[in-house]
Amino acid sequence: MGTNSIRLFLLLLVLFCLHSCEQEGNGSEIETYNQYRMQSLEYRDSLLLFYTVRAWDDSNWSFFEDISRMYKATNDQIEYFNGGIFYSPDKLKMIFWIGKKKPNAETWKVYNKEKPSANRICPQGKDTIYSLGALIGFREDTGKMWQLYPLGDQRASCFSSKEGAINVLGRYYFEKMKTKQMWYMIQSGNKKGTMELRAYGYNLQEPDFWKKCWLWEKDTVGAYGLYPFQVWSYRHPNVPTCVKCAEPLKRPKVVYPEEITRLYSP
């Protein structure tokens, strides 16, 4: 991004990304989980988070996307919104629901003239669609910038409303997350260095989530002291245990403008 583009992008973030998403009350039975989405997104964090997601989208990395590669639309047409921010009590950990509103655009090639809906990103979707995913972050001090990573446990896409997308993430994070089983590296005992499926044990709104959920337990056996979400994969050698064999997740490098970095301590 050039300097003018950066400033315009930051201005747009201030206008529509800082506040929590508005709910369009029409008697819908969809649960928006407002009782848990009460925290306010800090101004500097809003700039950092949305700038990061836009950069990852432009890089077409992981489940982020540069929609101009496939559709008659560009990332400039995406409106990013705050689906929910969740800080730990000490503000050193966080989970952020990143929302996107975008046109349900046709592809460059009209491959089905008899059925126009087949040319859409979401064939059954409306002209405007909403999606929601999650980022996870940590830092050592409240003055520092967040270390951000994608959290791909649950995503929602191709919804006709924000509420519909929020309902999907809310049902997972507030009702089902505690029973979700993921691969866990055993840190001690006779099985040290082996992996097992283990439930998270906590939902996002539970106070002990930030201290006791193993999502926040660093792997000092197989992954050089990394959190689970910092690991891309474990390269299992032909031995029963996996010690220092993890491949860290490689994120695209993001160069943040001075307008953002000056808001955090060096």
User: Whole-angstrom Cα distance, residue 17 to residue 82?
Assistant: 6
Q: Which residue has the higher pLDDT, 122 or 219?
A: 219
Record the tokens describing residue 98, joined without a space: 């990143």
User: Whole-angstrom Cα distance, residue 205 to residue 88?
Assistant: 10
Task: Provide the pLDDT for residue 250.
Answer: 95
What pTM, to 2 d.p., does this model score?
0.85
CA-to-CA separations, 77 to 91, 102, 117, 160, in angstroms, rounded: 32, 6, 20, 17
Angle made by CA atoms 257, 135, 215, in degrees to the nearest 5: 130
Mean per-residue pLDDT, 228-240: 79
Task: Provide the pLDDT for residue 239.
Answer: 61
- Report domain extents, the chain: 3-177, 178-248
Residue-wise pLDDT tens digits, 18-76: 333 333 333 347 999 999 999 999 999 999 999 999 999 999 998 899 988 878 888 99
**Which of the four pLDDT bands, split at 50, 70 and 90, describes residue 265?**
confident
Residue 247 has pLDDT above 70, yes or no: yes
DSSP-derived 3-state class of residue 208: coil
Query: What are residue 107's DSSP bridge partners?
Result: 71
